[in-house]
Amino acid sequence: MTNHQIAVIVLAGGQSSRMGRDKALLEIEGKSLLQRALEVAASVTTQVYVLTAWPDRYRSTLTEQSQFLLEYNPGSGPLIALTQGLTEIPADWILLLACDLPLLNTQILQNWATQLTAVPPSTLAVVPYQNSRWEPLCGFYHQQSLPSLQSFIDRGGRSFQVWLNQIQAIRLPIGEPEAIMLSNCNTLEEFEQLKGKMSNG
């Protein structure tokens, strides 16, 4: 799959309420979580977007390959954010990434991206799945999923889990490396634990 068929959206619009400070700007080894996510995203495609309502806050973090997509409905959640991305970005697939995944793995994401060429044309999403739950904030969404997503939201839907169970979605199997990669951090304690994993790894 050529790179221009995939765009990446890194979400930097969360309230980080449990963390007590902006997760995107937490640093590991001198790099913020947002910067790490953008660097990994750039290894998958040249089309990288930061979806946020606060571009000034993150301007210093932006990499050469990335640009801002101004969130027009801040705080309304990742489903709405994905809708905006699918509406405004001309790519066949969008890889949606949370900015609080410090252990993102370039190799795993590139492998997943190459698998997209082999999925049936009716596939609307290709998303990691573990413990009976989708991991939607590290998943691929096809442009054609927009009408289904829009009508789900119009009916009051707000849950990725519910929507993904309703559409043609392929489950990406998760082994130990993928499970480690998908570790996210909602509290400072979790963040410190993940930092420890990285320095030990």
Q: What is the pLDDT of residues 107-125, one digit of tens each?
A: 999 999 999 999 999 999 9
Among 128, 132, 107, 126, smallest CA distance to 182 is for 128
Is the per-residue pLDDT at 48 higher than 90?
A: yes
- Give the CATH number of the domain where residue 15 resides: 3.90.550.10
d(C-alpha 69, C-alpha 85), whole Å: 8
Is the per-residue pLDDT at 101 higher than 60?
A: yes
Instruction: Provide the residue range defining the domain that includes 28.
Output: 3-200
Is the per-residue pLDDT at 1 higher than 50?
A: no
C-beta of residue 100 within 8 angstroms of C-beta of residue 185: yes
d(C-alpha 192, C-alpha 70), whole Å: 30
Helix axes 146-154 and 78-88, enclosed angle (nearest 10): 140
Which residue type is seen at 118? A
**Amino acid 199: pLDDT:** 59
d(C-alpha 143, C-alpha 103), whole Å: 27
Distances (CA, A) of 55 to 59, 67, 107, 130: 6, 10, 29, 33
Number of domains present in the structure of the chain: 1
Q: How confident is the model at residue 18 (pLDDT cuts 50, 70, 90)?
A: very low
Q: If you ran DSSP here, which 8-state letter would residue 51 be given?
A: E
Is the per-residue pLDDT at 183 higher than 50?
A: yes
Helices (H), the chain: 33-42, 55-58, 78-88, 106-115, 146-154, 160-166, 176-181, 188-200
**Amino acid 15: pLDDT:** 57
d(C-alpha 189, C-alpha 180), whole Å: 17
**Amino acid 62: pLDDT:** 81
Among 47, 83, 87, 53, smallest CA distance to 67 is for 47
Q: How confident is the model at residue 192 (pLDDT cuts 50, 70, 90)?
A: confident
pTM to 2 decimals? 0.90
